[in-house]
Amino acid sequence: MQLKVADRWFEWERLADDVTRIWEPHVIRVEQCNIWHVRGRERDLLIDTGMGIASLRTAAQEIFDKALTAVATHTHLDHVGSLHEFGDRIVHEAEAEELVRASGNFSMLRQDHPVEFISALERAGYEVGPSFITALPHADFDLRHFERPSAPPTRCVSEGDVIDLGDRVFEVLHLPGHSPGSIGLWEAASGILFSGDAIYDGPLLDEIAGSHIPDYLSTMRRLESLPARIVHAGHDPSFGGARLRQLAREYLERRGG
């Protein structure tokens, strides 16, 4: 397979509320996670870290200009690939073990993955082409051999724990269903929710390894009643409170909750 080398691996845009979205344009949609950077007075917050195909820390160093706490909303590869590049790493206790281990080999080529994995993604509504990436980070990148290094958490969190940036406080919401240790970060003062893959405005995955529909139904009931003003999700564009309630309701109706 012939892929060109990308000029740059990451793009970013500054949004309101001192929030910056960083993403990997050459990763296909299903694996293209939103990486969120939030400015605080004492320290900044980084929510998820992308695939790890190129160095996030180096590429976005102009954004990372002070103490930084990196949080994994869950441990799927597209969210924790660059986590090892950051010294302060937070994850829910239910997925801590995943980060202690390296990821094992991940091929970027569709043909190297089990048919069931690809068909679960396609059934959910994603298009999967011959490769998970559409450009190379550098000329000698090996499409078939990629591994995330070990990135043991420095702090494990659970429901109700608080991450304090000095002037901004985020509460951990345990939102299992997509994965056992999926979390959201809720800033009650602003009504901002960082939701990870618990909810986003695209095809949700609840039939992959580690997902659990009964837990997902409980999570959706909870999200439906959250007084959110804006949701910055693990994939796809951000949305408001009305859309949050609509997406949660649609899931509950579809899965019989």
| Residue of 187, 197, 206, 215 that binds Zn ion (CB under 5 A) | 197
Q: Near Zn ion by CB under 5 A, which window of 27-35, 62-70, 116-124, 214-222?
A: 27-35
**DSSP 8-state code for residue 83:** G
Does residue 85 bind Zn ion (CB under 5 A)?
no
Give the Cα separation of 54 and 138 in Å (integer). Answer: 9
Q: What is the DSSP string of 89-117?
A: EEEEGGGHHHHHS----B-SBGGGS-HHH
Tokens of 62: 């102009």
Give the type of residue at 80: V
**DSSP 8-state code for residue 125:** T
Residues 207-236 that bind Zn ion (CB under 5 A): 234
Give the Cα separation of 198 and 205 in Å (integer). Answer: 9
- Find the length of the chain: 257
Q: Shortest Cβ distance from residue 49 to Zn ion (Å)?
A: 12
Q: How far is CA 149 from the centre of its chain?
A: 17
Q: By C-beta, is 148 or 168 nearer to Zn ion?
A: 148
Q: Shortest Cβ distance from residue 78 to Zn ion (Å)?
A: 5
Q: Shortest Cβ distance from residue 76 to Zn ion (Å)?
A: 4
Q: Shortest Cβ distance from residue 4 to Zn ion (Å)?
A: 25
Q: Near Zn ion by CB under 5 A, which window of 29-37, 49-57, 83-91, 132-140?
A: 29-37
Beta partners for residue 44, in sequence order = 68
Residues 30-59 that bind Zn ion (CB under 5 A): 33
Q: By C-beta, is 37 or 76 nearer to Zn ion?
A: 76
Q: Shortest Cβ distance from residue 89 to Zn ion (Å)?
A: 17
Residues 143-162 that bind Zn ion (CB under 5 A): none
Q: Near Zn ion by CB under 5 A, which window of 50-58, 63-71, 196-204, 248-256?
A: 196-204
Strands 169-174, 183-187: pairing kind: antiparallel
Does residue 76 bind Zn ion (CB under 5 A)?
yes
Give the Cα separation of 219 and 251 in Å (integer). Answer: 10
Interface residues with Zn ion (CB under 5 A) are 33, 76, 78, 197, 234
